[in-house]
Each structure stands twice: as structure tokens, then as C-alpha cells.
Amino acid sequence: MKTKDKIVLTSLELFNERGERNVSTNHIAAHMGMSPGNLYYHFRNKSDIIYEIFKNYELMVDSYLHVPSDRAIHIHDLIAYLDAVFNGLWAYRFIHRDLEHLLSSDERLRQDYRHFTLRCLEGIQRIILAMEGSGIYRPMEEQQRRSKALNTWLIVTNWMTYLKSIHASENPEEALSRKSIQHGVYLVLDYVIPYLYEDKRALALELQEKYRFDGIAPKPEMSEAS
Amino acid sequence: MKTKDKIVLTSLELFNERGERNVSTNHIAAHMGMSPGNLYYHFRNKSDIIYEIFKNYELMVDSYLHVPSDRAIHIHDLIAYLDAVFNGLWAYRFIHRDLEHLLSSDERLRQDYRHFTLRCLEGIQRIILAMEGSGIYRPMEEQQRRSKALNTWLIVTNWMTYLKSIHASENPEEALSRKSIQHGVYLVLDYVIPYLYEDKRALALELQEKYRFDGIAPKPEMSEAS
DNA sequence: CTCTTTTTAGAGTATATACTCTAAAAAGTC
DNA sequence: GACTTTTTAGAGTATATACTCTAAAAAGAG
């Protein structure tokens, strides 16, 4: 593998593990057993590394959100989308951790990210529309489809950040078990299900159940009412 | 006002404007026309300032999420909750911007934030339950109430971050108009409405309409299907 | 093997940041 | 008005960070 690609991979790994803010270019170089000078031979600056990582991320997510063209869309497709997206988010989790800072320090990235988001939202809307077409979703107004795409996006992109934020320990490996991440699928399905046709709901609920993971949200004691 | 309180206020202002990461203790002191030494007389370190700000935030949000004890809960209450919470989030918007870093550099804050979140989720669940009681929400299983609280929390706490992330300009004043923030209320209501009793839906839709703001989500052109 | 280009090391720099220390000024107390 | 406590200024420090520069090694081309 080329050194340049190795730098990208190592950076991604360190950014994910420790947060972009806590990883300096010197760290990256040291972790690879090479000199900072060498790193700066391959990349003009830290932003360029981040930008390249983002481009990979973008490519990956873009490859997910396609409506099948050769057949009708099915509930299982919805689950497959969610599964794929959560895996993708996990692999690039540092991006959504300090997104605002990344965007504010790189104008290119800001523009690209903006278009990326809008593209994803359109993709989600097309998926919803396709599901209406194949008799899964009840038909809805465009405005509603837009809200649904947006809410889904908000839930999906922030689920892992939420998980890390409520965990008692700082250790992310501990906080983000595979099971707890998958509960994100459960949550999105909870949002989706009321809009399904009655005859699809049982199946959806059954599929949803596989993604359920307790021990995240609180078990509320209704005592403290006020 | 005491110098200590002024430091807290100024810090909050600067953190919100520029992001905590971009505001050093020296900046804060300079912006107040005082010496860093003075600042460090009042606070042992930067974390302590952040912690104090968080405590104020916590106090504020906690004061919102109460079920009225003297009367039945109404749809208007729901809107009032959302309105209040979005205003609160706006006033302390730096917190959710780089939450993960804040939590990882202050153990106290991590624990407190964790309890705070769980408390809020319980609060939301109690509100949902109260609305079931007063014939607004259709009754649901506890697990569902939990999912709803969690999804609502995810949408609400990340709405502003989303807005900033998709705006072309870095200037937050421009990105976050009052109207666009309020669209968050619209989104949450979109999530809530299908669970309302039929006879309440018309009113809810009518109230929702006031919070609608176009020009955020994309107007999808379905051409690029695949 | 020679020449050119690419890749690497490693020392170094300018700048920023969180924070410390000392001593003077201001404020409060009696 | 003496004295004690609180508040302030301001210079200074240790450390880290992003990045530069020079020169040597390695790789490739003919």
C-alpha cells in the first residue's frame, strides 16, 4: 500500500479512537513510525488528510442510498439501508463528533458536506417514495416526506454520539457495543412503523424486535412526578 | 455583578459565538479587559468555567420539563415545552457542538451530563404519559414511550447543529434564523402527530403549520433516480 | 551504472495555550 | 486610620501543535 493511503488509514483510526482534536500530525507520524516531514511530503496540511477521509466516507454512503431499479422495494431493504448506514457511521465516527469544527476550518469540506447532506436527504426521500410505490408506506405529502427524511437523518447521524455521551466510562469500545449501535435501527423503525400499511406492520415489528437492546434509555420510575 | 459571574457570562457568549475549542482563557480575559491572572483567581481552570455554565444550563432545562400538577395537560403545553427547550438550547448552543470533547476532559461533567440526559428522558416520558392520561396521545407500551422520548431527544438536541452544518456560510447568525430554529418544533410535531387521537390531529396540524419554515430541507428533484 | 525523481528523516520554528507567581491595588472591617 | 482580606495586573513558563527546511536515502529509467 502507498504511504499516502497508509496515512489516511492511520489518521482515520486515530481520529476515531481519540477524536480529531486530540490527534496531531506529529501523533500520526509517530504512530506510523515515520517523520513529520515525511507526512507533510504527502499532505500539505492536516485539513487535507481530513478532506481525503471525508471523500472516502462520502463515496461509501453515496453507494448505499440507491433504490433498486430491477425490482420492487421491500421492508428488508429498509433494514439493510439502516444497517449499512450505521456501519458506515461507525467506521467514520470521528466526523460527526466535531463536525462543526471540521466544517469551519475547511471551506471545501463545508460546501461538500452540505451537498452530501442534501443528497442523502434526497436519497432518503426517494426511498420513502419507492416504498409508497410498492405498497409499504401509506402515501404522503411531499412536505411530510421531507420531514421524515430529515428526522431520520437526525436520529441516524446522532445516535452514536448520544450513546457515547450517556456512557459512564470514556472508553468508546465499551460504550458502543455492536448491540447498542443496532438499537439505532430499532429507533428509526419506531418512527417508521405508524406510516406503514396495517398488513406490513406485523412483519416490521417482528424485524424491529431483533434490533432491540435494553439498558440504554432509562427505566423510568414515575415516582418523581411534579 | 460579581467578576466571577461576568466571567461565566462572557465565556458563554464567546463559546457560543466561536466554539469552545476556539476560545482560550486568554481570549476570555482579554475580551473582558482583564488579566489572565485575574481569571485564574476566580477559576482554577477552563473546565471549571465550562462546568459552571453547564450547571446553569442544567438548572434551566430542569425547570422546563414539568407536568402541570393543577390541571390536565394540553397540546399547547407540548408546543410550549418545545419552544422553551429550543430557546434554551440556543442560549447554550456551544455545549452540544463539541459535547464529546467536553465530557472526555471532565469526569464530573460526564457523570452530571449523563444523569441530566436520563432525567430529561424520564421527563419526556412523563409528559407523554400525562398526554395519554388527558386523552391526547393514544395509549402505548412503555417501550414505545421510551423510544419516543429518545427519538425526540435526538431530534431536539441536534437540530441546531444540523442547521449550522448545512449552511453555506460559517456565520451562525445568518445560518440560524429564529424561523429556521423554530422549524425544529415542526419536525418534532411531525413525529408526534400520528400518535394523537384523530380528534386532536386537526388542531395539532394547525399549530404545527405556524412553525413551518421552508428553505431548509432540499426540494428534491426525482430525476436522479437509480 | 548514471542520472533523475520520489520518498524519507530529523532537526527546527513560530505560535498558541493553559496556567503560575509575585506583588500591588482595592475593598471591607473595626 | 490601621490592618486584613479580596481582587487585580502583568510578566512569565512549560508544553504542544501545525508546519518548514535541508539533505540524505531509496526507487525508477535509460
pLDDT digits (tens, 9 = 90+) for A76-107: 999 999 999 999 999 999 999 989 999 999 99
**Optimal mutation site among B106, B146, B197, interface A, most CBs of chain A within 10 A:** B146
pLDDT surpasses 60 at A183: yes
> For the purposes of burial, counting CB atoms within 10 Å of the CB of A185, is it exposed (0-12), middle (13-18) or buried (19 or more)?
buried
Q: How far is the CA of B77 from the C1' of C11 (A)?
A: 66
Note which residues in 55-94 of chain B have CB less than 8 A from chain A. Answer: 66-67, 69
C-alpha A155/C-alpha B219 separation (Å) is 21
What phi and psi values does residue B32 have, to the nearest 5 degrees?
A: -95, 0
Which pTM was predicted?
0.93
Q: How far is the CA of B122 from the C1' of C17 (A)?
A: 40
Task: Strand C: list positions under 7 Å from protein Cβ.
Answer: 7-12, 16-23
**Residue-level pLDDT, tens digit, chain B, 226 residues:** 899 999 999 999 999 999 999 999 999 999 999 999 999 999 999 999 999 999 999 999 999 999 999 999 999 999 999 999 999 999 999 999 989 999 999 999 999 999 999 999 999 999 999 999 999 999 999 999 999 999 999 999 999 999 999 988 777 666 678 899 999 999 999 999 999 999 999 999 999 999 999 877 555 444 443 3
